Each structure stands twice: as structure tokens, then as C-alpha cells.
Amino acid sequence: MAETLIKVDLSKSAYENEKIHNRWHPDIPMAVTVKPGDDFILECYDWTGGQIKNDDSADDVRDVDLTQVHFLSGPVGVEGAEPGDLLEVDILDIGAFSDQQWGFNGFFAKTNGGGFLTDHFPEAQKSIWDFNGMFTKSRHIPNVEFAGMIHPGLIGCLPSKDMLEAWNQREKELYDTDPDRVPGLANLPFADTAHLGKLAGDAAKAAAAEAARTVPPREHGGNCDIKDLSRGSKVYFPVYVKGAGLSVGDLHFSQGDGEITFCGAIEMAGWIHLRVNLIKDGMAKYGIKNPVFKPSTIKPRYEDYVIFEGISVDEDGKQHYLDVHIAYRQACLNAIEYLTKFGYTPAQGYALLGCAPVEGHISGVVDVPNACATLWLPTEIFDFDINPTAAGPTQQVTPGTDVPLSPDKE
């Protein structure tokens, strides 16, 4: 039986746990140490550290303190790991806590983080999802139920000092091009809410001033939000510090490709069972500078989809050059508009695309001036037929439900 090396108490603040951290910095001490070949379990807070509640108000999403996130379990030191190695990580299993069988999805207010479609959904909204074994459904989005493709949204190793400096420099340069932009172009170091595990005193203060926020993915992995890193996956992480320093958190019960609402998966607290091994000098042997992975053989199987196209022409009709971001946004907006024809509100459609196992594809990037992106919506998750027919769409969703909204404070 695998040992649980890091435990969390959801009734207590994550700041009280020395085996938790919410920044990236090479000086964060290892919380635990394992050997190559070991398997072990890590318990995890939800990524906000318990700021979001199971209720029908979105006030907590509106008021969430995003400078605190993400709360990660680790770092896990691996004996013998050296810079230049590859850390091989097998994701053996993941689960929600037995007394925490629910998760949440949210749209952050545009003034507080935003999301992929924040100009269309600028205020805070939230949906709650209840788990029933491997399946989930929501009281806020009726007529759908699907199997979760459970995965860690965030997993990676500690950066080296040089890498941290490079991150901070390039992200500050981007931020400075438009420092007043809402939402911001980057999330710069913020010492006030930093939690660096066992690091304390003057060393902690110095590290907090330069420690990288956990919001984006970077060369070490991090917040990649890849839904296919599920049970049975294998990931190869570049090692940048002695011991590797593997950390994990931001567990998702399910997510669509792109995590388009930003708080865009079904977020949950829970546990993850991992096994680690080393490939010595693996970065040079394979020319790897970013993680690579092998997907699981275990995944929900869907056979039928309605597929929505988008091109790089924005909502105002402006032409962009091979812009995949805009093309995928148009595919998402097209899918949301389609779902409203069956009675869903736009917010329900948006939340569903963030939570359900939709697939996003870059379908074309060579035919100037338009890139083409597609969103694949599985039809089997609905309890009615969403395929186009000659008869046209009919109202299927009972009126009266919606994703709770909390307007911005004056």
C-alpha cells in the first residue's frame, strides 16, 4: 500500500502546512524525499485553498484572492536527480476525498483574472458539480452527465536560479508593454501572499520577492491544464535543480481542451498516486526542453461529435493573420450560440465547454490569412439529441436554471 507522504486538512489554512507552497523558487526546501522507483500518495487542496464553497452564490468567485494561488503539494525530492536529467512520473491514480464529492467551475470577473471569453462574460459566475463515482452532473446545467477525465492541472519541477531570473525578466518586459491592461498581461512576483513551504525568516522574505507566480505553464511544466494527463499517463519532466523538486496540485475532475473559463475545469480537492524514476542526462539525450508525455489508455470513450469551426476573423469582422487564439474563440462562441437554441443560457453553454470533455484542435495554420480551429462537442453527454435535423432545434432545457452570477461591487 502506497504511503501518503503529504496530507492536508481542509478545515485549516494551506498557509499552516509546511509541505505546501504557492510560488516557484529554487530555494524552497524539499517537503519529502523519495527514491527512484518509489510510488506514493500526495493529498492536495483545491487550487484556491478552499476559497470556493458548495452553494448557489458566485460571491466567492467574484471576491477570490488570486494572488494566493495555486496551492501545491511538494516539493518532492528524488534521490540522485541532477540538472539535465529527466524525471519520469507515472500518474497511477487520482481521486476526490470521500467527504468532498463535489467540484466547482467559475468565470472570474474581468477585473479579477477574466477568462478566454471575458469580454462576453465579464462578471463572476459559478457552477457546482456533484460526483457519483466516475460521473458528474450539475444542478446549474441540466440535461448533461459525463464521465470525468480526472487529472492534475498543475505539475512540474522547481526552476533553477537562472531559469527563474529569465522568467521574471521576460514576463516583466511583456507586462510593461501595457501595464494598465485589464486583465493584466502577466502575473508578476507578489510577496505579500507567498507561501514557500518550510522556508522561513529572512530567506523566505528574500525568496518571496522574486518567486514566480504559478499561473502560467513554463519550461518546467507548471500550469499546463492538459486534460489528457489522466490516470495511466506518464510524463517526462526536465530537471533543473538537485533533487528535481516535483510539485502537484490544481486537481480537475473533468475539463474541456483549453480550460476556456480560466477557472475552467471542475476544480476539486483530492489525492494523487504517483511513481517516479530517472533518466540520467535525459534532456541532452532526447533534446528535451519542455515536458513530454504519454497519454493514458484509460479514458471516457465518445464516438459522436458535433464539430464547430472558427477562423481568425474576430467578432467585429476584423481580419487577423493566422491567429489560432481568435479562431478557437470563434469556435467556442459558435458552439455556445448553437447550445442556446436548445434552451441553455450563454453562461450555461460557456461553463459546459469548460467542464465537459470537449476536444480542441488546430486544424489549419497555412492557408493565409485564416487559421482554422475546431471544437469537438460529444453528443453522448446530453440526454437529448443535439444533432442538426431538418425539423430544427426544440427547447429541451427546462427554463429557470442558470449559472449563478454575482455582479461586480461598486
Q: Please give the share of the chain, as a percent, with pLDDT higher than 70.
A: 100
Mean pLDDT of 147-165: 97
Return the pLDDT at 264. Answer: 83
At 151, is the pLDDT very low, low, confident or very high (cuts 50, 70, 90)?
A: very high
Return the pLDDT at 53. Answer: 97
CB 357 within 8 A of CB 256: yes
- Strands 234-238 and 72-78, sheet pairing: unpaired
- Return the C-alpha torsion angle 31, 155, 295, 238, nearest 10: -80
Domains 4-294 and 305-398 fall in the same CATH topology = no
pTM: 0.96
Return the pLDDT at 410. Answer: 79
What is the third-level CATH fold of 305-398? Answer: Endonuclease I-creI (3.10.28)
Query: Residue 277, CB half-sphere, CA atoms under 13 Å: how many?
Result: 7
Amino acid identity of 90? D
What is the third-level CATH fold of 4-294? Answer: Jelly Rolls (2.60.120)
At 4, is the pLDDT very low, low, confident or very high (cuts 50, 70, 90)?
A: very high
Q: Which of 202, 204, 220, 278 is nearest to 29 (CA)?
A: 204
Asked if residue 298 has pLDDT above 90, the reply is no
Asked if residue 398 has pLDDT above 90, the reply is no
Return the pLDDT at 101. Answer: 98
Asked if residue 328 has pLDDT above 90, the reply is yes
* Per-residue pLDDT tens digits for 76-93: 999 999 999 999 999 999
Please list the alpha-helical segments (H only) found in 281-323. Answer: 282-286
CB 78 within 8 A of CB 65: no
At 342, is the pLDDT very low, low, confident or very high (cuts 50, 70, 90)?
A: very high
Distance CA(154)–CA(214), nearest Å, equals: 9
* Per-residue pLDDT tens digits for 202-261: 999 999 999 999 999 999 999 999 999 999 999 999 999 999 999 999 999 999 999 999
Distance CA(59)–CA(51), nearest Å, equals: 11
Amino acid identity of 357? P
Q: Please give the share of the chain, as a percent, with pLDDT higher than 90.
A: 97
Return the pLDDT at 224. Answer: 96
Cα separation values, 108 from 58, 120, 332, Å: 9, 12, 18
Q: So where are the chain's domains? A: 4-294, 305-398
C-alpha cell at 141: 446545467
95: number of Cβ within 10 Å: 17
Mean pLDDT of 159-179: 98
Asked if residue 381 has pLDDT above 90, the reply is yes
Q: At what angle do helices 346-355 and 324-340 cross, to 10 degrees?
A: 120
